Amino acid sequence: MDFGLTDEQLMMQDAVRALLANEHPPAVVREGLEAETAHDPGLWSMLAGLGLVGLCLPEEHGGSGLELLDAALMAEVAGEGAMPGPLLGHQLGSLAILLGGDHDQRARWLPALASGEAIATIAWAEPGDVWEPDHWSVEVRDGRLSGTKAHVLHGNHADVIVVGGAGSRLFVVSAPGDGVEVTSFDGIDRTRRLDTVVFDDTPVSELPEGVAAAPRVFDAGLVLLAADAFGCAHRLVRETIDYLDEREQFETKLTQFQGIKHELANMVTGLEPTRALWWYAAHALDHIPTAASRVAAMAHAHITDCSMAIARACVDLHGAMGYTWESNVHLWYKRIMFDRAFLGGPDRQRDRAASMGEW
């Protein structure tokens, strides 16, 4: 038994942290808020260079052959840096093909996805708050799919879209292409854009193990969101301390006021123990299949709620400045809003976890 990170894992986190701090600090992230796209090909190839875009793909296909815990550790760092772009959808789409595809399908798509040459995403949600695989309604007839998918992560950048269909089936669509119409959605988090994708008689290729793969990828998504939110909240606490430490009121540092100190202490008392929760949830995805799904839902609900509460308190601690666009606070705040809502929201995950309990 060992419940800690390896030196390699810590070094990998530090490498990505350094990359983001040097090449894509918040000031650069902010420029992307206004831009038409939050995808920066330069950043993407740097991430690919670090082996991040194919992190969980097998080495035989050019991936790094690592575990979901490693992906979650990267999500934490991505949250800390409010890292923009299509990584989340790419990871989940790639994972779906890995877990659901047959030998030929993997061989066809995974190498380009592992190298970052192609970008994947998932088109799973449907309008009207449809998220879970067993709720999907889009039908495929004669190898062709028609229907509308909502909240597709960077749908406009995807070369490979893994679409969820009725009966939890998974289909792969090449994009852009005929019968794939992408419209952008005005989302809360400008660092990870969402699109609505309308498929119209689009040719698809079914992933034969898709029905088994879909819930596992869904669980992976929950854990990556939780880790991202954790990273955001952790950074926000630090940013808030730094901001308050620089400011004086009545000739006294704001961090010296005990009211502020206690509020910060309460924040980390809620947050820091949850690091072990998402570590465990991520580890369970690869190693404890009987517990994985339930604990993924728990980790998501608990951590995104905790992070959101911290974000709200951090805004207030910044005073009026915290409410401005000019402050960086809203980068992480809105990113947590995204992490919290994506895949259905905390209460829905709690209901799911409860239904999976041995009660």
Partner 1 sequence: MDLELGTHHVTLRDQVGLFLDEHWPAERRDRHVPDDEIRLFRSLAIEHGYLYRGVPVVYGGSERPIDPIADDVIERAFTEARAPLGIVGQGPDMVVPTLLRNGTEDQRRELIAPTLMGDITWCQGYSEPTAGSDLASLRSRAELDGEDWVIHGHKIWTSDADRADWMFGLFRTEPDAPRHRGITFLLVPMDQPGVEVQTIMAMTGQPEFAEVFLTGARTSVRYQVGERGSGWEVSRDLLVNERNLMGFRLQQLFESVLELARTRKIGGAPAIEHPGIRRTLIDIESDLLSARFSRFRSLTNAARGRSDPNADLAGAVKKLHASTMAKRLTQFGLDLAGADEGLRAPGGASVDLGRANEPGGWAMNYLFAHASAIAGGAPNIQRNIIGERALGLPRDLRTPTGRSVS
Question: Residue 349 has which token pair?
Answer: 């995950």
258 binds partner 1 (CB under 8 A): yes
> Considering the complex, what minimum distance in angstroms separates the CB of residue 235 from partner 1?
13
Nearest C-alpha neighbor of 334 from the set 196, 195, 191, 210: 191
- Residue 337 binds to partner 1 (criterion: CB under 8 A): yes
Query: Would you count residue 319 as binding partner 1 (CB under 8 A)?
Result: yes
Q: Is residue 153 within 8 Å of residue 192, measured between CB atoms?
A: yes
- To partner 1, the closest distance from the beta carbon of 27 in angstroms equals 16
Site string for partner 1, 218-257 (x = CB under 8 A): -------------------x---x---x---xxxxx-xxx
The least distance separating partner 1 from the CB of residue 42, rounded to whole angstroms, comes to 26
Instruction: Say what the alpha-carbon torsion angle 275, 281, 284, 285 is, to the nearest 10 degrees.
Output: -130
Smallest distance, its own copies to C-beta of residue 260, A: 8
Bridge pairing between strands 140-141 and 205-207 = unpaired
Out of 44, 131, 136, 171, point to the residue binding partner 1 (CB under 8 A).
131
CB 12, min distance to its own copies, A: 39
Q: Which of 151, 154, 169, 335 binds partner 1 (CB under 8 A)?
A: 151
Residue 324 phi/psi, 5° resolution? -85, 160
Binding range to partner 1, per CB under 8 A, among 41-49, 93-101, 167-175, 185-193 = 185-193
Which of 302, 307, 332, 335: binder of partner 1 (CB under 8 A)? 302
**Partner that binds at residue 323, options its own copies, partner 1, none, CB closer than 5 to 8 Å by kind:** partner 1
Tell me the window of 13-21, 96-104, 213-221, 300-308 that interacts with partner 1 (CB under 8 A): 300-308
Task: Decide: is 65 part of the binding site for partner 1 (CB under 8 A).
Answer: no
User: Element (H or E) spanning 162, and its range?
Assistant: strand 160-165
Q: Name the residue among 256, 236, 259 with its Cα closest to residue 247.
A: 256
Q: Which residues bind its own copies (CB under 8 A)?
A: 257-263
Nearest one of 329, 67, 325, 330 to 220, comparing CA atoms: 67
How many residues comprise the chain?
359
CA distance 138 to 170: 11
Choice from 162, 268, 285, 335 touching partner 1 (CB under 8 A): 268
DSSP state of 55: T
286-315: burial string, b at 16+ Cβ within 10 Å, e else: eeeeebbbbbbbbbbbbbbbbbbbbbebbb
Nearer to its own copies, 238 or 262 (CB): 262
Return the ∠ at Cα 184 (arms to 182 and 189), rounded to 5°: 140
Stretch that binds partner 1, among 48-56, 82-90, 98-106, 298-306 (CB under 8 A): 298-306
Supply 47's token pair: 């991430």
**Residue 25 touches which of partner 1, its own copies, none (Cβ within 5-8 Å per kind):** none
Site membership for partner 1, residue 345 (CB under 8 A)? yes
